[in-house]
Structure formats: structure tokens, C-alpha cells
């Protein structure tokens, strides 16, 4: 499956991993398409149909194609640097700086976080659009998002809980309040995918039944077999 999607996206074949984790989720990583990897949890593979898994993997390949993992790493690094500098500024502040100077130091980390979240949300919409083009099945990705969003919020993810910054890697963050989420609202993402399916999207492509073909439903982790 992943190999076929990578060919459609004109990408090198990424490494494929299955994470033994009950929370249904997936993510991509790597500094560029030549050093990329995509992963899905066992919870996701057990929950979704073949078409839905294909939509999710196409989303992750969309991140790879758009170089989002590198961009978001850079953004996160800059945001972290701003926060660190603000902390130094607060600790070593000039006593004559006044209220305005103190407020600037306090507001800077919050502003950096807002910018980081805004960029991350934009990249998620872009990866959804790329997935729709790569797989030709925007409604499959929409169905997958609808299924896994509720379960991802209900089932804990120890990695994201230990390191909240890792939540931006996943297709859905899980357990994060929307105001501070690195992802758009799932309802907005589903609505955008439905609009693409019914209206052809901004690039004029369409998803027709004859483009989907006959797909079987898989019930085991072999759904990510690169040769499928």
C-alpha cells in the first residue's frame, strides 16, 4: 500500500513502522523525502478499513512531500529559543525596563506558541489536501478522521503525555484542548475533505467511483505491508 502511494506522490519509498500502541494514530518523520519514515499504531490498523488506512498513510506522505517534518522542527526550535530567551530576559531583566519591558518578555513565549500552532494547523490542512490527491479518496480520509478522533482523545498516549511537543507529529493530537491544539478541529478537516470530494477541490481533481477500484477490508497490521 505505502509503496503504491509513494509512487503516486512521486516520492522515494519511506521506511514503514508499526507502533504497538492502542491509541489509533499515525505520524511521519524525517528531515527530507529521502530520509523519511511513516508509522501507524496497532490501534489504528485494527480500527480502520483498507481504504481508510490508505487515506491516513497518504496524509503522512503528504507531510513528507511538503517537507512538513523539517518545517515544524524548525518552527518548534525557534519557538523554544524564543521562550528560553524570554526566560533569560526575565531573570536578568533591567530594573529600569519598566512594565512595558516586562510585559514584552512575558508575552513573547505565548506569541511564539500561537505562531507555531497557526503554522502547524496550516500544514495539517495541506497534508489532508495532498492525501486527497495522492489517494484520490478524500472521503476515506474523512471517515478515518471521524473514527479515530474520539478514540484518540479517550485512549492515552504515553509518548505525547511525557512530551506534549510530540503531539504535533500525529494525525490527530489526542487529549489536547482545541484552543492550544497544534491541529485544526477535526470537524473542519472533515468538512474540507467533503468539499474536495464533491466539488473537485482547488486543483480541479475529482474522486470518482471508477478511480477507487475494488478494495478489500483488512483486519490486521499487514495492511501496511509496503508491497500491498
19-55: burial string, b at 16+ Cβ within 10 Å, e else: bebebbbbbbbbeebeebebbbbbbbbebbbbbbbbb
If you ran DSSP here, which 8-state letter would residue 175 be given? S
Q: Helix 98-135 crosses helix 50-65 at what angle (to 10 degrees)?
A: 130
Count of residues in the chain: 228
Report the run of H or E that residue 38 belongs to, with start and end. Answer: strand 37-41
60 is catalytic: yes
Contact yes or no for 75/120 (Cβ under 8 A): yes
- Given the residues 3, 52, 54, 60, the one annotated as active site: 60
Cα torsion 61, 67, 71, 74: sign: positive
Give alpha helix (H) positions in the chain: 2-8, 42-47, 50-65, 68-91, 98-135, 138-154, 158-162, 186-199, 209-212
Nearest alpha carbon to residue 43 among 152, 187, 170 = 152
User: Residues with catalytic annotation?
Assistant: 60
Amino acid at each position: 500500500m505505502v509503496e503504491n502511494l509513494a509512487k503516486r506522490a512521486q516520492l522515494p519509498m519511506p521506511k514503514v513502522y508499526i507502533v504497538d500502541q492502542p491509541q489509533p494514530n499515525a505520524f511521519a518523520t524525517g528531515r527530507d523525502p529521502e530520509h523519511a519514515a511513516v508509522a501507524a499504531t496497532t490501534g489504528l490498523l485494527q480500527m480502520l478499513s483498507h481504504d481508510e488506512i490508505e487515506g491516513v498513510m497518504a496524509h503522512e506522505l503528504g507531510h513528507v512531500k511538503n517537507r512538513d517534518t523539517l518545517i515544524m522542527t524548525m518552527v518548534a526550535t525557534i519557538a523554544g529559543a524564543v521562550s528560553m530567551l524570554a526566560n533569560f530576559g526575565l531573570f536578568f531583566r533591567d530594573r529600569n525596563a519598566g512594565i512595558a519591558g516586562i510585559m514584552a518578555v512575558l508575552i513573547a513565549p505565548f506569541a511564539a506558541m500561537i505562531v507555531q500552532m497557526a503554522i502547524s494547523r496550516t500544514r495539517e490542512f495541506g497534508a489532508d489536501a495532498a492525501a486527497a490527491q495522492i489517494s484520490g479518496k478524500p472521503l476515506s480520509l474523512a471517515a478515518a478522521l471521524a473514527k479515530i478522533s474520539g478514540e484518540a482523545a479517550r485512549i492515552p498516549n504515553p509518548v505525547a503525555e511525557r512530551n506534549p511537543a510530540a503531539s504535533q507529529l500525529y494525525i490527530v493530537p489526542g487529549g489536547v484542548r482545541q484552543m492550544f491544539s497544534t491541529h485544526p478541529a477535526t470537524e473542519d478537516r472533515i468538512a474540507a475533505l467533503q468539499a474536495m470530494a464533491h466539488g473537485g477541490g482547488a486543483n480541479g481533481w475529482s474522486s470518482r467511483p471508477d478511480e477507487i477500484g475494488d478494495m478489500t477490508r483488512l483486519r490486521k497490521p499487514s495492511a501496511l505491508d509496503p508491497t500491498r
